[in-house]
Amino acid sequence: MVAEPHELGMIGLGVMGRNLVLNMADHGFPVVGFDKDPAKVDALRREAGARPVRAAATLDEFLRLLRAPRAVMMLVPAGGPVDAVVDELRPRLTRDDVIIDGGNSYYRDTDRRVKALAADGLHFVGVGVSGGEKGARYGPSIMPGGSADAWERLRPVLEAVSAKVDGSPCVTHLGPGSAGHYVKMVHNGIEYGLMQLIAEAYDLLKRGLGLDDDRLHTIFETWNGGELNGYLVEITAAIFLQPDDRGHGRLIDVIRDEAKQKGTGKWTSQDAMDLQVPVPTIDAAVAMRDLSGYKAERLAAERLYPSVPARFDGDAAAFIEQLGHGLYAGMVLTYAQGMALLRRASEAYQYGLVLDEVARIWRGGCIIRARLLEQIRAAFHARPDLPNLLQDPSFAADLHARQGHLRAVVQAAARLGIAAPALMASLGYFDGYRTGRLPANLTQAQRDFFGSHTYERTDADGVFHTEWQPGAREAS
Ligand code: 6PG
CATH of residue 138's domain is: 3.40.50.720
Q: How far is CA 433 from CA 353, 373, 430, 436, in A?
A: 23, 21, 5, 8
Q: Is 268 a pocket residue for ligand 1 (Cβ < 6 Å)?
A: no
Q: Is 262 a pocket residue for ligand 1 (Cβ < 6 Å)?
A: yes
For residues 189 and 195, give the distance between their C-alpha atoms in angstroms, rounded to a whole number. Answer: 10
Domain that holds residue 39: 8-177
The verdict on 126 and 227 lying in the same domain is: no
Q: Is 280 a pocket residue for ligand 1 (Cβ < 6 Å)?
A: no
Contacts for 331 with CB less than 8 Å, ≥ 6 apart: 194, 197, 228, 230, 370, 372
Per-residue pLDDT of the chain (476 residues; tens, 9 = 90+): 444 578 999 999 999 999 999 999 999 999 999 999 999 999 999 999 999 999 999 999 999 999 999 999 999 999 999 999 999 999 999 999 999 999 999 999 999 999 999 999 999 999 999 999 999 999 999 999 999 999 999 999 999 999 999 999 999 999 999 999 999 999 999 999 999 999 999 999 999 999 999 999 999 999 999 999 999 999 999 999 999 999 889 999 999 999 999 999 999 999 999 999 999 999 999 999 999 999 999 999 999 998 766 789 999 999 999 999 999 999 999 999 999 999 999 999 999 999 999 999 999 999 999 999 999 999 999 999 999 999 999 999 999 999 999 999 999 999 999 999 999 999 999 999 999 999 999 999 999 999 999 999 999 999 999 999 988 665 44
Q: Assess if residue 61 is contained within a domain.
A: yes
The verdict on 247 and 375 lying in the same domain is: yes
Residue whose CA is at the smallest distance from ligand 1 atom 11: 132
| Last residue of one domain, picked from the residues 158, 177, 196 | 177
Q: Which helix (H) or strand (E) holds 449?
A: helix 440-451
Task: Tell me if residue 191 is catalytic.
Answer: yes
> pTM of the predicted model, to two decimals?
0.97
The verdict on 163 and 262 lying in the same domain is: no
CA 310 to ligand 1 centroid distance, Å? 34
Contacts for 396 with CB less than 8 Å, ≥ 6 apart: 390
The verdict on 359 and 409 lying in the same domain is: yes
Contact 355, 339 (CB under 8 A): yes
Burial readout 310-335 (b: 16 or more C-beta within 10 A, e: otherwise): eebeeeeeebbebbbbbbbbbbbbbb
Q: Assess if residue 448 is contained within a domain.
A: no
Which is the closest atom of ligand 1 to the Cα of 265? 16
For residues 102 and 129, give the distance between their C-alpha atoms in angstroms, rounded to a whole number. Answer: 6
The verdict on 208 and 252 lying in the same domain is: yes
CA 103 to ligand 1 centroid distance, Å? 10
Task: Give the active site residue among 4, 61, 134, 184.
Answer: 184
Q: Assess if residue 242 is contained within a domain.
A: yes
Q: Assess if residue 401 is contained within a domain.
A: yes
Q: Which helix (H) or strand (E) holds 282?
A: helix 280-292
The verdict on 219 and 281 lying in the same domain is: yes
The verdict on 323 and 211 lying in the same domain is: yes
Hey, what amino acid is at 33?
G
The verdict on 80 and 196 lying in the same domain is: no
